[in-house]
């Protein structure tokens, strides 16, 4: 394994990012968890039809709003969509919205 492999494993870091929306995104659970771990100041997260990631465990000391939108019709056409949302630690969470857009 060379430098390219090591660089691919590096997690993105956005320490000052406050809001993040992923819409029609294709990702894996590990990539999404890595992205969120690199956003320690995140206040608002919106996941709108995120495919390829079956489950998400939320650990955030700063998150206040979490919105998850799924599309059961698109799931049949495109593939696996977020199905399991587990909020394990989010002491400041004030708003949680989960809905099927259809």
Residue 40 backbone dihedrals phi, psi, to 5 degrees: -70, -15
Those residues of the chain that have pLDDT short of 50 are 1-10
Dihedral, 55, 91, 23, 100 alpha carbons, nearest 10: 70
- The pLDDT value recorded for residue 54 is 83
* Residue ranges covered by each domain of the chain: 11-100
- The pLDDT value recorded for residue 74 is 61
- The pLDDT value recorded for residue 44 is 98
pLDDT in tens, 74-93: 656 666 777 888 999 999 99
- The pLDDT value recorded for residue 95 is 96
């Amino acid at each position: 394994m060379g430098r390219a492999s090591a660089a691919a494993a590096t997690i993105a870091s956005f320490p000052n990012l406050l809001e993040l929306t992923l819409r029609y995104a294709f990702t894996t659970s590990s990539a999404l968890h890595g992205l969120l771990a690199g956003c320690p100041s995140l206040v608002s997260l919106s996941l709108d039809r995120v495919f390829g990631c079956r489950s998400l465990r939320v650990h955030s000391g700063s998150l206040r709003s979490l919105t998850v939108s799924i599309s059961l019709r698109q799931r049949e056409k495109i593939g696996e969509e977020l199905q399991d949302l587990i909020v394990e630690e989010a002491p400041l969470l004030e708003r949680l919205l989960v809905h099927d857009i259809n």
